[in-house]
């Protein structure tokens, strides 16, 4: 029984990595540019600043690089920031967790 439980727990790890990769790639394939949520409408015409912001956020890198950077951040406890509100995801989770 102990061997069965350990085997199932060890199978969870690659399954979670595969699911997180599929969700991450799926979100990257959505035809909406995340920069449009960050940049105010009056700055949208300034292509230079938008490109600079894209480089600063790492959106110019390949998907696989961004995934592993995100995964390493998640494993370190860095969940990033909300694109819409700009607040830390960790704070949003702390606020919503007691309600669950």
Structural element, H or E, at residue 57: helix 47-57
C-beta of residue 63 within 8 angstroms of C-beta of residue 28? yes
At residue 83 the predicted structure's pLDDT band, cuts being 50, 70 and 90, is confident
Residue 88, helix vs strand vs coil: strand
Confidence label for 81 from pLDDT (cuts 50, 70 and 90)? confident
pLDDT above 80: residue 84: no
Q: What is the pTM of this model?
A: 0.74
What's the pLDDT score for residue 39? 80
pLDDT digits 0-9 by tens, 22-55? 999 998 888 888 787 778 777 777 888 888 888 9
Rounded CA separation 34/54 (Å): 9
Predicted local distance difference test score (pLDDT) of residue 33: 80
The token pair that represents 83 in the structure block: 């694109």
Has residue 65 got a pLDDT over 90? yes
**Is residue 75's pLDDT more than 80?**
yes
The contacts of residue 61 (CB under 8 Å, 6+ apart) are 69
N residues, the chain: 100
């Amino acid at each position: 029984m102990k061997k069965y439980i350990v085997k199932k727990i060890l199978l969870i790890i690659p399954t979670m990595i595969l699911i997180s990769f599929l969700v991450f790639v799926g979100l990257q394939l959505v035809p909406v540019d995340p920069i449009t949520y960050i940049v105010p409408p009056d700055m949208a015409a300034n292509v230079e600043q938008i490109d600079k912001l894209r480089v600063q956020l790492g959106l110019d890198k390949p998907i696989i690089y961004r995934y592993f950077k995100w995964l390493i951040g998640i494993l370190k406890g860095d969940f990033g920031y909300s694109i819409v509100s700009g607040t830390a995801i960790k704070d949003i989770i702390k606020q919503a967790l007691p309600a669950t």
